[in-house]
A and B are shown apart, each in its own frame.
Chain A
Amino acid sequence: MHAIARRRSLAGLRRRIADIEKREFAGIPSPGADDLACGPVPLARGAVHEFRAGDYRDAPCVLGLALALAGAASADRALPIIWIGQTRDAFHEGVPYGCGLDFFGVDNALCIFVHARDAKAVLWAAEEAVRSDSLVLLEFWKPHPLLDLTATRRLQLGAEQSGARLFLLRDARDEGPSAARTRWRVAPAPSAEDPLDERGLGQPRWDAALEKCRDGGRGRWVLEWDHAKRRLVETAPHSRGVVSAMADRPFEEATNVA
């Protein structure tokens, strides 16, 4: 009996701490704040957000989600987008395609494409980039020992100082720890029917699962690019049943604690 009471009070205290942290976190409005969100989860400025692909073939899909978020973030104000990758894999993975960016509302003129020879140069470029007021897309698909807790923490610190967002795109097999504020696992989701063409593709959809979040939430959503409004929207869970199997509690509960 005693043990149960102790556990209960401990849980209460934990919630209060989470509550305080969240309130503090929301209480500092950063200058020129834009409320970018991936589903119901806000993606804070001045932070590293990590997006992982479960399958190497899903890399373009994860990249697309990051671009959609970048487009949404730059909707209100011109935000330079610095896209960093390694030169090596151009023929295998393809190269960023300038004509495909407009679709997500990303202004080509504001994009800088950085290619670096090796992991070391990639991280150097990312650290330089994240210190400017911008949005950094860091493609880091091949696991590398250099991208460790220290490296991600350095990126995180750089982002905190400048207010930049860094989207770290990596492989889910890359189990290295990271200091990212949020961590997502992204997979493609079948699109809805095109209203004009019954066999056609609808707007791109993603199956995004929040695996880690400093504010304690977890969850899984199907997101769709709303091309007219230039933003990501949540869609009703579709027939295939995206069950939040990995979520130990739904995100809504965590957010409604306050």
Chain B
Amino acid sequence: MDAQAAKLGFYQGQALADARAIEPKLIAFETDVQEEAQRFRRLAEALMRYSPVISVQTTGELFIDITGCQRLFGGEEAILSDLRQRIARAGYAMRAAIADTAGAAWALARYGDLEIAREGAHHSAIASLPVEALRLPPDLSDRLRRLGLKTVGELYDMPRAPLTARFTKALLTRLGQALGTEPEPLVPVTPAPRYYAARNLAEPVSTVETVKSILAPLAHEIAEDLARDAAGARRFELALFRVDNEVTRLEIGASAPVRDAAHITRLFSNRLDDLQDDYDSGFGFELLRVSAFDIRPLAVRQRAAFDLQSDSDAQEEALAELKDRLSNRLGAMNVRRVGFRNTHLPERAAFFTPVVTPASPSDVGPGERARPVKLLPRPEEIEALAEVPEGPPIRFKWRRVAYAVARANGPERIADEWQGKETAGPTRDYYRVETAEGRRYWVFREGLYGVETTSPRWFLHGFFA
């Protein structure tokens, strides 16, 4: 709804037939609610440059919590005028107001003329506004009007108890939220970080090198904040806000809480290098923000000045940093540790899991049974010849090459799991075999001869050293 439409007498929620009565040439389109919501959310993300805490109320309405962010932009006026320009450039119209409480800001933006209510002035600023400015359900504000209570200010001095009795608790809650006596929790678009550091740049930057050079002091800042509270973070995010309202976000994870500025910088640098073609600075980035998430306690410790080798803590820390560097560059799924399941099935007994996920106490090793060093993800069928149906093979052919078996151990029988959710199929008889050259393989015969099958098949599953 723009101003021109309103002037013609259109309003939101109007029936199409009524609207056509006013203007017969009206062209009607169906709104794509989802698309609209998505676009608004994207706009909201771009507006996170002002503050990491943004809460979308409905499509077309959002709160920005700029507490503590004024200095970065040079005051509330500067933020508001920057916001106005930005929204206009994006091709939208807007109304905005800044006040101590979300409720007061909403009231001023919807019904007021004042754009910035100074600290503590919101009380008087909204007094003359109509009661609708309190975000009340329509029937409630109608009843207030019928009783002659037309402005917000008239409610200030009313006794609380009768008000609650007649108009339910909603009225007092809304009034309190506007005045700041009732809490109003805002649900942010993305979780709000407790720690962050940002740089607003007068001149947009575009090269990776410049971004990196700004990154270092930001990491340092956030590291200092974390150190002050003896905390570390397991996740960091770098948000690069482009001039044209696009946001690039890079995330790094750490296996253990960290707050070492050099380490954080290095992880982000690796990620930036890895972007390559995906790195698109457009017309440049004008704001950079590093935020810390997943905050954990991390004791402040004096580093040993000498003899780093003997310091096992330092060694462990170095290993954790190495894990982080590898995981962030190659992807967490490519830097793994081994975990174990309590199962007899060889291909299920051991699995890989990202090294950044903490080990669970149930991860007990399989013991010292003879197991191959490498396993084929899928057993490969071989042509094998055994002396007796129940015995080890004496010859087999794998990948079109024939092997003569010199020695063999077995069988080790691995049966289908009786708890069996996953079916392993028929029983397997595993043999360790050694060829004449000394190559050692793990082969199995599938199916019990004479019971489960008459012509058992053979498979090669693994390689011994």
Q: Across the interface, name the chain A residue whose C-beta is closest to B378.
A: A91
> Does residue A113 face the partner (Cβ distance < 8 Å to B)?
yes
- Complex Cα gap A87–B352 (Å): 13
- Complex Cα gap A51–B433 (Å): 24
Q: Evaluate whether A133 and B463 lie within 8 angstroms (CB atoms) in the complex, with A97-B350, A200-B408 already known.
A: no
Q: Evaluate whether A61 and B409 lie within 8 angstroms (CB atoms) in the complex, with A32-B309, A68-B465, A95-B374 already known.
A: no
- Complex Cα gap A71–B376 (Å): 23
A80 touches B372 (CB 8 A): no
Q: Evaluate whether A103 and B370 lie within 8 angstroms (CB atoms) in the complex, with A32-B309, A61-B439 already known.
A: yes
Residues of A within 8 A of B455 (CB): none
* CB proximity of B372 to chain A, nearest CB, Å: 5
- Complex Cα gap A157–B208 (Å): 29
A99 touches B377 (CB 8 A): no
Decide if the interface of chain B is mainly helix, strand, loop or mixed: mixed
User: Residue B465 contacts which of A63, A80, A115, A124 (CB distance < 8 angstroms)?
Assistant: A63
A91 touches B439 (CB 8 A): no
User: Residue B367 contacts which of A65, A67, A102 (CB distance < 8 angstroms)?
Assistant: A102
Residues of A within 8 A of B363 (CB): 109
B375 touches A97 (CB 8 A): yes
Interface stretch, picked from B46-54, B65-73, B193-201, B336-344, is: B336-344
- Complex Cα gap A194–B407 (Å): 9
Residues of A within 8 A of B322 (CB): 82, 128-129, 131-132, 134
Residues of A within 8 A of B282 (CB): none
* CB proximity of A220 to chain B, nearest CB, Å: 15
Q: Across the interface, name the chain A residue whose C-beta is closest to B392.
A: A199
> Does residue B120 face the partner (Cβ distance < 8 Å to A)?
no
User: Residue B437 contacts which of A32, A190, A200 (CB distance < 8 angstroms)?
Assistant: A190
Chain B, residues 180-205, CB within 8 Å of chain A (1/0): the string is: 00000000000000000000000000
User: Residue A194 contacts which of B325, B334, B409 (CB distance < 8 angstroms)?
Assistant: B409
Those of B367-422 within 8 Å (CB) of chain A: 367-378, 392, 406-409
Interface size for chain B: under 10, 10 to 19, 20 to 34, or 35 or more residues? 35 or more
> Does residue A188 face the partner (Cβ distance < 8 Å to B)?
yes
Those of A56-115 within 8 Å (CB) of chain B: 57-61, 63-65, 67-68, 80, 82, 87, 90-91, 93-104, 108-109, 111-115
> Does residue B19 face the partner (Cβ distance < 8 Å to A)?
no
Interface size for chain A: under 10, 10 to 19, 20 to 34, or 35 or more residues? 35 or more
Q: Evaluate whether A100 and B330 lie within 8 angstroms (CB atoms) in the complex, with A132-B318, A190-B437 already known.
A: no
User: Residue B372 contacts which of A100, A109, A188, A201 (CB distance < 8 angstroms)?
Assistant: A100
* CB proximity of B364 to chain A, nearest CB, Å: 9
A133 touches B350 (CB 8 A): no
> Does residue B297 face the partner (Cβ distance < 8 Å to A)?
no
Q: Across the interface, name the chain A residue whose C-beta is closest to B370.
A: A103
> Does residue B326 face the partner (Cβ distance < 8 Å to A)?
yes
User: Residue A61 contacts which of B366, B392, B406, B465 (CB distance < 8 angstroms)?
Assistant: B465
> Does residue B250 face the partner (Cβ distance < 8 Å to A)?
no
A125 touches B330 (CB 8 A): yes
Residues of A within 8 A of B309 (CB): 31-32, 133, 163
B371 touches A109 (CB 8 A): no
- Complex Cα gap A80–B315 (Å): 10
- Complex Cα gap A226–B323 (Å): 32
B409 touches A190 (CB 8 A): no
Residues of A within 8 A of B368 (CB): 102-103
* CB proximity of B375 to chain A, nearest CB, Å: 4
Those of A201-246 within 8 Å (CB) of chain B: 201, 204-207, 225
Q: Evaluate whether A188 and B440 lie within 8 angstroms (CB atoms) in the complex, with A63-B465, A87-B334, A133-B315 already known.
A: yes
Count: A-B pairs, CB below 8 Å: 188
Q: Evaluate whether A201 and B440 lie within 8 angstroms (CB atoms) in the complex, with A91-B377, A102-B365, A114-B330 already known.
A: yes
* CB proximity of B461 to chain A, nearest CB, Å: 9
- Complex Cα gap A97–B461 (Å): 11
Residues of B within 8 A of A24 (CB): none
User: Residue A188 contacts which of B329, B351, B439 (CB distance < 8 angstroms)?
Assistant: B439
> Does residue A191 face the partner (Cβ distance < 8 Å to B)?
yes
> Does residue B97 face the partner (Cβ distance < 8 Å to A)?
no
Residues of A within 8 A of B323 (CB): 112
B326 touches A108 (CB 8 A): no
A94 touches B337 (CB 8 A): no
> Does residue B462 face the partner (Cβ distance < 8 Å to A)?
yes
> Does residue A119 face the partner (Cβ distance < 8 Å to B)?
no
> Does residue A121 face the partner (Cβ distance < 8 Å to B)?
yes
- Complex Cα gap A112–B325 (Å): 13
B465 touches A109 (CB 8 A): no
Residues of A within 8 A of B372 (CB): 60, 94, 97, 100
A-B contacts, 14 of them at CB < 8 A, read: A60-B374, A91-B378, A94-B377, A95-B375, A96-B374, A97-B462, A132-B319, A187-B437, A188-B437, A188-B438, A188-B439, A193-B407, A199-B392, A201-B408
**Would you list the 5 A-B pairs with minimal beta carbon distance, nearest first?**
A64-B465, A98-B350, A98-B338, A60-B463, A188-B438
Q: Which A residues lie at the B interface, using CB under 8 A? A: 31-32, 57-61, 63-65, 67-68, 80, 82, 87, 90-91, 93-104, 108-109, 111-117, 121, 124-125, 128-129, 131-134, 163, 187-191, 193-194, 197, 199-201, 204-207, 225
